[in-house]
Amino acid sequence: MKCKRYILTILEPQSEQVITTTFTRLKLLAVLVTLCSLIGAGMYKLTSKGVALHQQHALTALRKENAVLLGRLDEYQQRVNTIVSDMNTLRHTARDIQVSAALPGGEIAYGVGGPNAEPDKIRPETPTAQTIAWNLSSLESEVRMLKVNMTDMEKNVASRRDRIASYPSIRPVRGGWISSAFGMRIDPFTDRFENHPGVDISVRNNTDVMASAAGVVKAVRKNAIGKKGYGKYIIIDHGYGNETLYAHLSKVLVKEGQKVNRWDVIGLSGNTGKSTAPHLHYGVFVNGKAQDPFNFILE
């Protein structure tokens, strides 16, 4: 059987040259196989290049994600450092409060509570970035709570310290002896019973008279009128309803409105006013009512 032949004629327009080629089925089949091979090879190269590009994009995305995670780790580390610093500050503050307020030692306990829960359902054990962030946020919340509580404690201790400083707790003069106690007594001038709203402390003339607590000078009298009244005197307002009186002075060393601290010398003892000899009349008043000074002196 004769093989069929196929003729391919190509005409070049410019030179009008005609090229004629004869193909057999076998030759045509070979040409088709070659073309398919070339097309397949091209497609393989394109596919390989596409896969490579996809992998490159994926690698770039992973690098970006890694950079983000590294940034978060740096942020978490900074937050951890801040938490550690805050905790150390809180510990030092708590120790200072305990020392300054003479509070008993030991850790400060905070009352907490709530319904029972399984720990693994609250904080997953897998240390993922999300759980680390959650735990850090929880720690930061606890630190904020500790700061608020510590601030309240500092205010409370400061208030107590201020109240203690304003408590008339010392003897206003050194030495001497009690010549007349608080309460009913026989008046040395009239020989009648009267209420004595303070204590008389006999001391040498011009002995230093000290403020028995911190406060503000409420009133002073620098001029005595004969043998009447308290003579030269000082009244100090200590706040919290407490006031003290220092009378029969020879000299006043403070002025009205002046702030004084405990142990400050405010005047000199004397014999002015209704007085038989050099001494200090010392009175303590709470909300305007006279109190026995011995109930306040802690020395």
Domain range list for the chain: 5-73, 177-295
Own/partner contacts of 146-155, CB < 8 Å, gap of 24 or more, are 146/86, 146/87, 146/90, 146/110, 147/86, 147/90, 149/110, 150/90, 150/93, 150/94, 150/97, 153/94, 153/97, 153/108, 154/93, 154/97
- Per the prediction, the chain carries an average pLDDT of 78
What is the CATH architecture of 177-295?
Distorted Sandwich (2.70)
**pLDDT at residue 2 is higher than 70:** no
Give the C-alpha separation, 270 to 277, whole Å: 8
Distances 39 to 43, 125, 219, 246 between C-alpha atoms, Å: 6, 55, 113, 117
**pLDDT score of 3:** 60
Q: Tell me, what's the pLDDT at 11? A: 66
Please give the structure tokens belonging to residue 81: 């450092």
CA–CA distance from 195 to each of 187, 229, 236 (Å)?
9, 14, 22
b/e 1-38 (16+ beta carbons within 10 angstroms → b): eeeeeeeeeeeeeeeeeeeeeeeeeeeeeeeeeeeeee
pLDDT-derived band at 258 (thresholds 50, 70, 90) equals: very high
CA angle (42 as vertex; 39, 48 as ends), nearest 5: 140
Tally of CB atoms within 10 A around 82? 14
Instruction: Look up residue 111 and give its two tokens.
Output: 């009352």
Considering the chain, what percentage of its residues have pLDDT values greater than 90? 32
Q: Residues 219, 256: contact at Cβ < 8 Å?
A: yes
3-state secondary structure of 185: strand
3-state secondary structure of 284: strand
Better pLDDT: 159 or 114? 159
Mean pLDDT of the 194-206 span: 93
Name the helix (H) or strand (E) containing 183. strand 183-186
The type of residue at 125 is E
Residue 291 is predicted with a pLDDT of: 95
Amino acid at 231: G
In this structure, is the dihedral angle defined by the CA atoms of residues 178, 182, 183 and 187, taken in order, positive or negative?
positive
Determine the Cα–Cα distance for residues 290 and 183; give it in Å rounded to an integer: 10
How far apart CA 183 and CA 128 sit, in angstroms, is: 77
